[in-house]
A and B are shown apart, each in its own frame.
Chain A
Amino acid sequence: MEDRAGVVDEFRIAVDGVYLSRAGRPVFQGLSCGFVQGQITVILGESGVGKSTLLRLIGGLTRPDSGAVRVAGEDVARLRHADLYRLRDRIGMLFQYGALLDSMTVAENVALPLREHTDRSEADVSAEVDRRLAAVGLSDVGSLYPRELSGGMTRRVALARALVTDPEIVLCDEPFSGLDPLNVRRIEKLLVGLNRELGLTMLVASHHLASSMRMAHRIVFLTDGRAVTAAPEDLARSGEPAIVEFLDAERGAEGPADRSGA
Chain B
Amino acid sequence: MRGVIERIGLRALEAVSELGRMGVFVGGFVRAGVLPRYRVRRFMDELFDVGVLSLAIICLSGLTVGAVLALQGYYNLARFGAEGSLGAVVGLVLVRELGPVLTALLVTGRAASAMAAQIATMVTTEQLDGLRMMSVDPLDFVISPKALAMAVAMPLLNALFIVFAIFGGYVVGVSYLGLDAGQYWTSLEGAIVFAQDIAGSVLKSVVFGILIAIIATYRGYTAEPTAAGVSAATTGTVVTGSVAVLVFDYAITALWGV
Contacts and interface: CB of A to CB of B under 8 A. Distances in A.
A116 B136 contact: yes
Nearest to B134: A113
A59 B125 contact: no
Contact of A99 (B126, B135, B136, B137): B126
B4 to A, nearest CB: 24
Interface in A51-92: 56, 59, 61, 85-86, 88-89, 91-92
Nearest to A95: B126
Interface residues of B, number: 13
Contacts of B127: 99-102
A61 B135 contact: no
Contacts of A162: 133
A161 B132 CA distance: 13
Contacts, number: 49
Interface in A211-253: none
Nearest to A89: B135
Q: How large is the interface on A (under 10, 10 to 19, 20 to 34, 35 or more residues)?
A: 20 to 34
A161 B134 CA distance: 9
Contacts of B137: 85
A97 B136 CA distance: 19
Given A99-B126, A102-B127, A59 B133 contact: yes
A88 B132 contact: yes
A99 B128 CA distance: 8
B130 interface: yes
Interface string B128-164: 0111111111000000000000000000000000000
B135 A93 contact: no
A61 B134 contact: no
A5 to B, nearest CB: 30
Interface in A19-38: none
Contacts of A190: none
Nearest to A173: B126
Nearest to A81: B137
A102 B136 CA distance: 16
Interface string A93-126: 1011101111000000000110011000000000
A17 to B, nearest CB: 25
Interface in B40-55: none
A171 B127 CA distance: 16
A93 B133 contact: yes
Interface in A127-182: 161-162, 165, 171
Interface string B107-136: 000000000000000100111011111111
B135 A101 contact: no
Contacts of A165: 134
Contacts of A171: 133
A61 B123 CA distance: 13
Contacts of A113: 134-136
Contact of B134 (A56, A96, A116): A116
B126 A97 contact: yes
Contacts of B129: 56, 61, 95, 99
Taking each of B126, B127, B133, B135, which has the highest tally of chain A beta carbons within 10 Å of its own beta carbon?
Answer: B133
B134 A112 contact: yes
Contacts of A97: 125-126
Contacts of B136: 112-113, 116
Nearest to B133: A93
Contacts of A92: 133
A116 B135 contact: yes
B135 A100 contact: no
Nearest to B137: A85
A61 B125 contact: no
Contacts of A101: 122, 127, 130-131
Nearest to A52: B126
A89 B134 CA distance: 7
B25 to A, nearest CB: 14
Contact of A91 (B126, B130, B131, B133): B133
B130 A88 contact: no
12 contacts: A59-B133, A61-B129, A61-B132, A61-B133, A85-B135, A89-B135, A93-B133, A97-B125, A113-B136, A116-B134, A116-B135, A116-B136
Given A99-B125, A101-B122, A112-B136, 14 more contacts: A59-B133, A85-B137, A88-B133, A91-B133, A95-B130, A99-B127, A99-B130, A101-B131, A102-B125, A113-B135, A113-B136, A117-B135, A161-B134, A162-B133
List the 4 shortest-distance A-B pairs measured between CB atoms, nearest first: A99-B130, A99-B126, A93-B133, A85-B135
